[in-house]
Amino acid sequence: MMRIDIAGWTREAMAGDHQAFRAIFESADRWGYDGAWFSEFRVPQSDWQYPSPLLLAAALLARTERLRVGTAVLVLPLHHPLMLAEEIAQLDFQSGGRIDVGIGRGTEPASLAALEIDADSTRQRFESGARILRNALRGDTVAADGGPWNFAPRKLAPLPLQRPHPPIYVAGSTEETLGFALAEDLPLLLSLEPPETTQLERLAHCAQRQVRDARPLLARSSLARYVCIGANAAQVQQQLEGLWEKLYARRVYFAARRGVAAADVPPVDQAKVLREQFIHGTPEQCHAQILALRERLGLRSLRCIFNANGLWSNDAALAAMQLFAQEVLPALHRSEPVDA
């Protein structure tokens, strides 16, 4: 069955009353969504109510019955992998096996500086930490293998897992990270920036070098898409017209953090963005676009971003989520292949 998750609640989109925020995901649980994903930003330079996605996951898992909760991502260089394995195993046990683990290397210089972590060490910390975390959750013998952690080979006390181990995904866009995920057989969290077309090209290069078939890995991976849905074309167009200026302003903001002047940030190519980063239109159009993505990429999991990463309000996102749940989710279930 096609898995449909929700994502996009991060930074400003998480501000406000906790009960109202929690209610979004209680509604998602009732409406039939499969999972929700949250990011990790540690020791931020601005207000940020939820620096720990695992603590947030614990709260939401306790208030839902079937919704899975995932991390997109846990920044591995900031954590000791053995401690992280224990916390994940506890969440897995408490939730009846509803935790998904997305991991990444991280690119936030302020967090690394505040925690006195050398930015040049993050590649080694990520790859070593990923292997230790995976092996610990599998119940295998774990050992430090070149990272900053120095301990003798050991097996942890039995972890209270609900199945062999929680699913582990890798997020990344560089050939180094994509090649690591392919070599370790860890499925991907394909991102919006850069669009997955760039990531898939790089993954293909890695597969060629490793003499591997990447298609089985992709079938277990998850793709992110903005979703703009309306009852008719006019509603969809109205939502999109209010988005482009905000989207450009956000690109200018993040470009400035990289030292790029606003004048050097190109305008938003609306047609290209809609083609590469969106599911958009009426329920019938959204359904058809998702089926086309599934056919083209072989993916069975989609992370829907109904709030444009905070550029649309939570109220607008909830309305879109409800319409999608009423009209698109049932259609997706009816269109499942016979051997699904």
pLDDT at residue 282, as a whole number: 98
pLDDT at residue 96, as a whole number: 94
Q: What percent of the chain has pLDDT over 90?
A: 78
- Mean pLDDT, rounded, for 64-83: 96
pLDDT at residue 45, as a whole number: 62
- Mean pLDDT, rounded, for 160-182: 92
Give the least confident one: 77-81, 106-110, 297-301. Answer: 106-110
SS3 content of the chain, % helix, strand, coil (to 5): 50, 15, 35
- Mean pLDDT, rounded, for 245-263: 92
Burial of 176 (0-12, 13-18, 19+ CB in 10 A): middle
Residue 337 binned pLDDT confidence (cut-offs 50, 70, 90): low
pTM for the model stands at 0.95
Residue 82 binned pLDDT confidence (cut-offs 50, 70, 90): very high
Residues 5-28: tens digit of each pLDDT: 999 998 788 988 999 999 999 999
* Half-sphere exposure for 241 (CA within 13 Å, toward CB): 6
Question: Does position 238 have pLDDT exceeding 70, yes or no?
Answer: yes
Give the least confident one: 76-80, 223-227, 299-303, 336-340. Answer: 336-340
Residue 339 binned pLDDT confidence (cut-offs 50, 70, 90): very low
Residue 46 binned pLDDT confidence (cut-offs 50, 70, 90): low
Residue 34 binned pLDDT confidence (cut-offs 50, 70, 90): very high
What is the widest separation between alpha-carbon atoms in the chain? Answer: 63
CA separation for the pair 316, 207 (Å, rounded): 41
Question: Does position 146 have pLDDT exceeding 80, yes or no?
Answer: no
Residues 173-203: tens digit of each pLDDT: 999 999 999 999 999 999 888 888 999 999 9
Average pLDDT in the chain: 93
CA distances from 235 to 21, 71, 125, 228, 311 (A): 25, 32, 47, 9, 17
Question: Does position 338 have pLDDT exceeding 70, yes or no?
Answer: no
pLDDT at residue 161, as a whole number: 79
Domain ranges of the chain: 223-297+305-340
- Mean pLDDT, rounded, for 126-148: 90
